[in-house]
């Protein structure tokens, strides 16, 4: 059985979707959720689904090996960033090469980089009159949103779409594709 660890920073809807997807899998299961936000709703979601969940601070993540030790003990086959807002440190990436993936709410390389997450992305898409957007699932490297692309899915953007409308379309794509792509990577 393959082991998945999820990193999330907020509400945790993607994390919950992933946990539920793998609950009945004979291939893999989510064994732990880690968050940089001690008040994140993802902690409650994980607990309700009987998945171990811990929060950590920036020092434990970037300056010490505390989070790395947690990961080494968990022995993940895949680390999934699901709405995780911090840049992933090189010292962890070096121990888990090509085992860390992220979903980005745009068609990279467009609308990627530092500060480009969530509504910031959707507002930029609408302001630039894009006719399509989508999601990009990619490997994580030492730069924001620059790792090798694994999968992209597109949706249309109409002239009447608000950033909230775009967010809803992106959320649907994430719910549909993120677990399936993760499962394929583990198969």
Range of the domain at 61: 2-186
For residue 89, the model assigns a pLDDT of 95
Alpha-carbon radius of gyration of the chain: 16
Q: By percentage, how much of the chain surpasses pLDDT 90?
A: 98
Eight-state DSSP code of residue 82: S
Mean pLDDT of 41-66: 97
* Count of domains for the chain: 1
Mean pLDDT of 110-122: 95
Mean pLDDT of 124-131: 98
Q: Give the residue ranges of DSSP H helices in the chain.
A: 13-23, 41-48, 58, 66-74, 90-93, 118-127, 163-186
- Contact residues for 73 (Cβ-Cβ < 8 A; gap 6+): none
**Which residues, in sequence order, are bridge partners of residue 82?**
none
The reported pTM is 0.96
Q: What is the pLDDT of residues 18-49, one digit of tens each?
A: 999 999 899 999 999 999 999 999 999 999 99
| Confidence grade of residue 1 (pLDDT, cut at 50, 70, 90) | very high
Q: By percentage, how much of the chain surpasses pLDDT 70?
A: 100
For residue 170, the model assigns a pLDDT of 98
Domain of 182, CATH number, reads 3.40.50.170
Mean pLDDT of 150-155: 98
Label residue 11 left, alpha or beta by phi (over 0 means left) and psi (-120 to 50 means alpha): alpha
Residues annotated as catalytic (active site), given as ranges: 104
Token duo for residue 94: 């070096």
For residue 147, the model assigns a pLDDT of 96
For residue 3, the model assigns a pLDDT of 98
Q: Which of 51, 58, 67 is nearest to 17 (CA)?
A: 51
Mean pLDDT of 74-85: 96
Contact by Cβ (8 Å): 56, 36: yes
């Amino acid at each position: 059985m393959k082991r998945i660890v999820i990193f999330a920073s907020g509400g945790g809807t993607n994390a919950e979707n992933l946990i539920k997807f793998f609950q009945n899998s004979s291939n893999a299961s989510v064994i732990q959720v880690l968050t940089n936000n001690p008040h994140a709703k993802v902690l409650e979601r994980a607990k309700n689904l009987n998945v171990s969940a811990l929060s950590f601070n920036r020092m434990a993540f970037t300056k010490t090996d505390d989070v790395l030790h947690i990961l080494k003990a968990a022995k993940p086959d895949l680390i999934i960033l699901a709405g995780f807002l911090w840049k992933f440190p090189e010292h962890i990436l070096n121990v888990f090469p090509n085992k860390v993936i992220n979903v980005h709410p745009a068609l990279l390389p467009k609308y990627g980089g530092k500060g480009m997450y969530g509504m910031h992305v959707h507002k930029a898409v609408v302001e630039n009159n894009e006719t399509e957007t989508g999601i990009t699932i990619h490997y994580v490297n030492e730069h924001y949103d620059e790792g090798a692309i694994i999968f992209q899915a597109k949706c249309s953007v109409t002239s009447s779409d608000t950033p909230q409308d775009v967010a809803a379309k992106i959320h649907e794509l994430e719910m549909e594709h993120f677990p399936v792509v993760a499962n394929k990577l583990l198969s």
